[in-house]
């Protein structure tokens, strides 16, 4: 079994299509949303059937909080952004996943939410790799 892969866990097809794997953390798979308009990361807890944070054990909830904070700090450090937006909506993709997005005044859609704003602009492969390396270094 691959490191970090939990028995019975399958990544939602839409998350897999819209993002790229960055690395495994203790509980979560860390992914980069493939939209260059915003530095945007996803944490996906490797727990089959989890749709809400309260679906997880208290220990997993604590670990999720720790990993979310660690990723948010790294993203802020790496980007110098004005604000970090963190959210777990799940209205379209039910599988529990946490969005961590770097926002800055003047970015597309500021100060509104990123969801539903324009069309996704995929990264060039080299830019995605560069961003991923920046995040790994900040972690």
**Annotated domain spans of the chain:** 13-138
Q: Is the pLDDT of residue 1 over 50?
A: no
What ranges make up the beta strands (E) of 10-137? 19-24, 28-33, 40-45, 83-87, 98-103
Residue 81, pLDDT score: 97
Q: Is the pLDDT of residue 126 over 50?
A: yes
> Where does 13-138 sit in CATH, by number?
3.30.428.10
Read off the pLDDT of residues 37-79 as tens digits, 9 standing for 90 and up.
Answer: 999 999 999 999 999 999 999 999 999 999 999 999 999 999 9
Q: What is the arithmetic mean of pLDDT over 86-96?
A: 94
Instruction: Say how many residues make up the chain.
Output: 139
Q: How far apart are CA 4 and CA 18, in angstroms?
A: 20
Note if the pTM is more than 0.85.
Answer: yes
| Contact of 71 with 41, CB cutoff 8 Å | yes
Give the whole-number percent of the chain exceeding pLDDT 90.
Answer: 87
DSSP 53: G
């Amino acid at each position: 079994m691959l490191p970090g892969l939990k028995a019975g866990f399958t990544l939602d097809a839409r998350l897999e299509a819209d993002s790229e794997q960055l690395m495994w953390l203790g509980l979560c798979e860390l992914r980069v949303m493939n939209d260059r308009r915003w530095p945007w990361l996803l944490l996906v807890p490797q727990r089959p059937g989890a749709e809400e944070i309260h679906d997880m054990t208290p220990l997993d909830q604590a670990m999720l909080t720790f990993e979310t904070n660690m990723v948010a700090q790294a993203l802020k450090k790496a980007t110098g952004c004005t604000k970090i937006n963190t959210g777990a909506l799940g209205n379209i993709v039910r599988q529990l996943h946490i969005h961590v997005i770097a926002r800055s005044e003047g970015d597309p859609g500021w100060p509104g939410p990123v969801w539903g704003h324009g069309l996704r602009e995929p990264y060039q492969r080299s830019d995605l790799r560069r961003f991923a390396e920046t995040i790994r270094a900040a972690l």
